[in-house]
Structure 1
Amino acid sequence: MNEFCAAASGGPHRNLDMHMADPYLYSVNNHVATFSINAAPWNLMTIDYIDRLEEQLPDVLADDNVRAIVFTGEGLDHFSAGMNLKQIPEGVKRAGSPEAFFTQRHRVLDMIENGGTPAIATLFGYCLGGGLELPLACHFRLAADNGAQIGLPEMDLGSVPAWGGSARLPRVVGRDHALDMILRGRKIDGAEAYRIGLVNELVAVDAIKERAQVIGEEIAAQPRQAVKSMLDVIVGFEQRTLAQSLSDEAVAVTANLATADAREGMMAFMEKRRPVFNQ
């Protein structure tokens, strides 16, 4: 059975209450929804965390009031040291088989990546195993400029990434960087993550959540249908030919030509003012 995440020392796993009442905290502010793992300081991803995400995400993605999503963790010590390894037997029992257990995680991350709402992840402290695999399914990633340890160290536990890490990481940073991180079990800092294109920005750790909110609000102010159209065109482009992507773009252009937001954008341009979308 393959699962593994995180701090290979096992230290974070010893004293966790496996039955937290609230595996994450959820809020919506200025059209930006935030899921914050509620298990500081290590913010391990419990089976209840994944179960609740799978249950709630469809409603969040269908909510017109939510135009961007932030994934973060409580406190400022660690985004997530990954899965609580002690819970694997219970998780397999709930799911019915090891395959079903890991397939559920793929379903949840696929919803994040392909759900049509831009997702932003904050990487600070430990971002290991599942604590990197979930951000890899997001569309924007911010890293703390100091103290981040980012990686897929499953090799140190005699296994391999199980939440899509070996599939998504090469698509983000390229084959060579992915092999270097995974086969050597390397943990990289925020500066290196930025250098290889794993994250979009470096931010001071005490400002990283605020910065994620600001980016979410910037996206929320853009025309919602146009944002979704661009996600449809760009996400997963690696699996499509250029001709297919061009065809997808043409469909998006046609779908957005006659929208109220398109009219508002043109009028704002002519009137030399800022457009107000999503009215």
Structure 2
Amino acid sequence: MSEALLFTVDEGVAVISVNDAPYNRMSLEFVDKLESLVNNIADDNNIRAVVMTAEGLDNFSVGMDLMQLGAAMQQDFNPHAFFDQRLRMIAAIENMGKPWVVTLFGYCLGAGLELPLGCHFRLAAAEGAQIGLPEMDLGSVPAWGGSARLSKCVGRDHTLDMILRGKKISGSEALRIGLVHEVWPLQELKQRAMDLARELASQPALAVKGVMNVAVGSEDRDLNELLKTERAAVLETFGTPDQQEGMLAFIEKRKPVFNQMK
């Protein structure tokens, strides 16, 4: 049996790949392993950005492995623990203070969209992407925070249109409604995600975390709270090697080189 996911780290960028091509279903083993990795990445200062992708070029993910889930439901199954784990894992990704870049191509359905909704930069393929939350077809509703995060991302009207009608939208349509940040040809998509992750990893890690602490979830906090969070982030960067390097590079009219101090 192959590994549920593949994991590598190179020059500050971690790459996580769903390993069940061509459909890249998110099995129970995948979720367990991903949750463990998320916790490790959060604690590893050598990792400054993450790419979430999938093996092959057919599909990012068709979502949960429904056959496996159906079998599990016949056993001693606790739905609260099952879904709490997934919500906990996606929230940890969203709030860890390190940028996650995800590639959307082929089918990105159910959990195959809900997991990307917890990531910070979503890149879609220009051709072939089918992105949606089709749980209505199963007589149910999104269970990994999909309806909540999609509504925060694209607003009520697009959310109701996608979920209640079981729509699967293209990469270009996802860009139009603000669901993804960029669209690239399929053959270039993974490389573009890596390029973006390397760019983000080259930024001063403490400053990146500070900005993310302000911006992530900002729609749910008032301005005064956000200003206090921003001030704390500014003060935390004062006098750090990266702040000194940035100032020196500005004076010397060169590009700064950050994250040199461990």
- The two structures have a TM-score, normalised by structure 1, of 0.90
1:204-223 → structure 2 map (5 Å cutoff): 204-223=185-204
1:258 aligns with 2:231: no
Contact 1:91/1:101, CA 8 A, preserved across alignment: no
Distance in 2, matches of 1:80 and 1:136, equals: 13
State, as a whole percentage, how many aligned pairs show the same letter.
55
Instruction: Write out per-residue CA displacement over residues 230-252 of structure 1, whole angstroms, 9 at most, x where no aligned residue.
Output: 11111011110111111111111
1:198-234: per-residue Cα shift (whole Å, max 9, x none)?
0000011111111110000001110000001111111
* Equivalent residue in structure 1 for 2:172, among 170, 173, 191: 191
> Alignment partner of 1:70: what SS?
strand
Gaps of 5+ in 2: none
Count of matched residue positions in the alignment of Structure 1 and Structure 2: 260
Amino acid at match of 1:124: F
Match in the other structure for 2:227: 246
* Partner secondary structure for residue 29 of structure 2: helix
Greater relative contact order (Cα 8 A, min sep 6): structure 1 or 2?
1
Counterpart for residue 27 of structure 1: 8
Relative to structure 1, the CA distance from residue 23 to residue 95 in structure 2 (aligned partners, 3 Å threshold; closer, same or farther) is farther
Quote the Cα distance in structure 2 between the aligned partners of 1:54 and 1:124.
23
State the alpha-carbon separation in 2 of the partners of residues 171 and 90 from structure 1: 33
Separation in structure 2 between the aligned mates of residue 141 and residue 198 of structure 1, nearest angstrom: 8
- Please give the TM-score of this superposition, normalised by the length of structure 2: 0.96
1:272/1:106 CA distance change after superposition, 3 Å: same
Runs of 4+ in 1 over 6 A off after TM superposition: none
Aligned pairs for 1:94-105 within 5 A: 96-105=77-86
Contact 2:2-2:19 at 8 Å conserved across structures: no
Mapping of residues 124-273 of structure 1, within 5 Å: 124-273=105-254
* Corresponding residue number in structure 2 for 1:17: none
> 2:207 corresponds to which letter in structure 1?
A
SS in 2 for 1:188: coil
Task: After TM superposition, give the deviation of residue 56 of structure 1 in Å.
Answer: 2.1
Cα distance in 2 for residues equivalent to 1:83 and 1:158 = 15
Cα pair distance change 1:134/1:270, threshold 3 Å: same
One-letter code of the match for 1:158?
A: G
Gaps of 5+ in 1: 1-19
Which is worse superposed, 138-147 or 24-33?
Answer: 24-33
